[in-house]
Structure 1
Amino acid sequence: MNEGFVKTPEIQALLDRVAGVGVPDGNARAKAIVRDLVEHLMVLVARYEISEDEVWQAVNFLQKGAGEFGLIMPGIGLEHFIDLYLDARDAEAGKIGGTPRTIEGPLYVAGAPLVDTGANLTQDPDDTTTLYMTGRIFGPDGEAVKDAIVHVWHANSKGFYSHFDPTGEQTPFNNRRRLRAAEDGTYSFHSKMPKGYSVPPNGATDQLMQLLGRHGNRPAHVHFFIEAPGYRRLTTQINFGDDPFAKDDFAFGTREGLLPVPNRQGDSAHVAFDFHLQRADSGDDERFSARERLSVAA
């Protein structure tokens, strides 16, 4: 059917009622967004002549896959799109430079122990290479950032994160810490080298990737939040540049400038990586986004 059907008076009137247009209560911005969103969905139904069965198959997929939305969002590129959109807004405002932002992913846990720089992140036995990571945190004018907190989290050598490990074997906050950087902006830590992972087999994300002819693999990587008074909070991660999926990350987390290659020597691997922060324009720039995150007492 021609998608012009959506522009007929009957459908347009339906959309107005759906979005509460003309009703004094409610939020005007939410009304406009919901109206556009539903209209775009209607256009897709008409454009591709989506059947009733296909509509409800999609609804069933979303209902059953609700627990994996944190993986589906990066898997379909929406989380990466938000990063690109924010970059474009920054460029329009003349805010350039700094370490690239990239996706947070769904596996952060608030409440990790706050420790001094130089700490060991790994509590559990893990017979693999030891990762040593060092660097400095700079501001936009090259100044050392004071009072910085470095949130670090990564998987173990099986590709599992503590608090989300299906084996239940990891202790709380294994490979998770908040580091107090030194006054000169330096930070360091060591831990057992993480491994990349794949999405849960036969789960909603895996089913979607198979439908699209794609894989669901992530390279080995380490996640970071960097926060400091007066600076914009940075959400980023490094992918190890020598991982086979480093430039084919199903979650689109790879960005230029975030692909260090570890210096591997025997049973150790060394990564030197500096973070460059942007100045905060307001308190909003320093705070975490409204994303819901697991919170556990240390």
Structure 2
Amino acid sequence: MDISFVKTPAIQDLLDRVAGTASDKGDPRVKAILRDLVESLMVLIVKHDIDENEVWGAVNFLQNGAGEFGLLMPGVGLEHFLDLYMDAKDAEAGKTGGTPRTIEGPLYVEGAPLVDNDANLTDDPDDTDTLYMAGRVTGPDGEPVANAILHVWHANSKGFYSHFDPTGEQTPFNNRRRIRLGDDGRYAFHSKMPNGYSVPPGGASDRLMQVLGRHGNRPAHVHFFIEAPGYRQLTTQINFGDDPFAADDFAFGTREGLLPVPNRQGDTAHIAFDFQLQRADDAEEEAFSHRARLAVA
């Protein structure tokens, strides 16, 4: 059947009723978005001749995999798409430069200890090399950004994050800190080297990747938020450039300019990396997105 079926009066009337377009109550923006979303799904059903069993199979997949939505979003490219879309809108508005943004991922935890520079992120024993990372946080003219807070989080050498570790072995906030920077904008920290991870075996993300003929692996990486008065909040991460999955990250988090190669020396590795922020036009640009995040007292 042709997708023009969706444009027939009966289907269009159904869509109007679904979105409540005849009512002056409710949110007009939500109505318009929901109508277009449902219509797009109808078009997909007709275009690909998706039958009833396949529709309900997809519903069951999403219901059963609800706990992995934070992995499915980057896995299907939607989280990376949001970065590309925001980049394009910035370019239209003449906002260029600065460290590239990239995906947050689902594993940030609010409330990490607030510490001074030269911080140790790792609380638990971990038989692996030590990572030393340092650099500067500057503004668009190279000026040091004063009073910045650098949020850092990463996995342990097994690829597990504290608060999400299936072994339950990590202490709270292991490999997680908020670092208070001084007037010179310099930062430094050390921790035990993280490893990459794969999506949970047999979970929704793993099953989807297998159907698509893809893998569910991420390279070793370190996540960052940077916030500072007068500057746009930055969400980014570095992927280790010598990791075999750096060029094939299942979450599409790898971006040019975010691939430092650690300088490995014996049982240590060193990364020098500078961050550059853009100036904020208003308080909203200084703030974090409204994404729901795990909060721990």
TM-score (norm 2): 1.00
Alignment of 1:160 with 2:160, yes or no, is yes
Corresponding residue for residue 54 of structure 2: 54
Shift of 1:182: 2.2
Give the residue type in structure 2 aligned to 1:6: V
Write the distance in 2 (CA, Å) between the matches of 1:133 and 1:190.
6
Write the distance in 2 (CA, Å) between the matches of 1:209 and 1:171.
31
Alignment of 1:290 with 2:290, yes or no, is yes
Write the distance in 1 (CA, Å) between the matches of 2:149 and 2:117.
9
Corresponding residue for residue 116 of structure 1: 116
Corresponding residue for residue 218 of structure 2: 218
Alignment of 1:133 with 2:133, yes or no, is yes
Corresponding residue for residue 10 of structure 2: 10
Give the residue type in structure 1 aligned to 2:293: R
Corresponding residue for residue 45 of structure 1: 45
Write the distance in 2 (CA, Å) between the matches of 1:48 and 1:78.
21
Give the residue type in structure 2 aligned to 1:60: N
Write the distance in 1 (CA, Å) between the matches of 2:41 and 2:281.
37
The runs of at least 4 consecutive aligned structure 1 residues that moved more than 3 Å come to none
Give the residue type in structure 1 aligned to 2:20: G
Match of 1:58, SS state, is helix
**Percent sequence identity over aligned pairs:** 78
Give the residue type in structure 1 aligned to 2:42: M
Corresponding residue for residue 189 of structure 1: 189
Write the distance in 2 (CA, Å) between the matches of 1:99 and 1:9.
50
The runs of 5 or more residues in structure 2 that have no matched partner are none
Corresponding residue for residue 106 of structure 1: 106
Give the residue type in structure 2 aligned to 1:203: G
Write the distance in 2 (CA, Å) between the matches of 1:249 and 1:182.
34
Corresponding residue for residue 268 of structure 1: 268
Corresponding residue for residue 92 of structure 1: 92
Write the distance in 2 (CA, Å) between the matches of 1:78 and 1:105.
11
TM-score (norm 1): 0.99
Give the residue type in structure 1 aligned to 2:268: S
Give the residue type in structure 2 aligned to 1:58: A
Shift of 1:183: 1.4
Shift of 1:247: 1.0
Aligned residue pair count: 297
Write the distance in 2 (CA, Å) between the matches of 1:204 and 1:229.
40
Shift of 1:181: 1.3
Write the distance in 2 (CA, Å) between the matches of 1:141 and 1:26.
46
* 1:107-162 superposed Cα distances (whole Å, 9 cap, x missing partner): 00000000001010000000100000000000011100000000000000000000
Give the residue type in structure 2 aligned to 1:152: V
Give the residue type in structure 1 aligned to 2:170: Q
Query: How large is the RMSD of aligned CA atoms in angstroms?
Result: 0.4
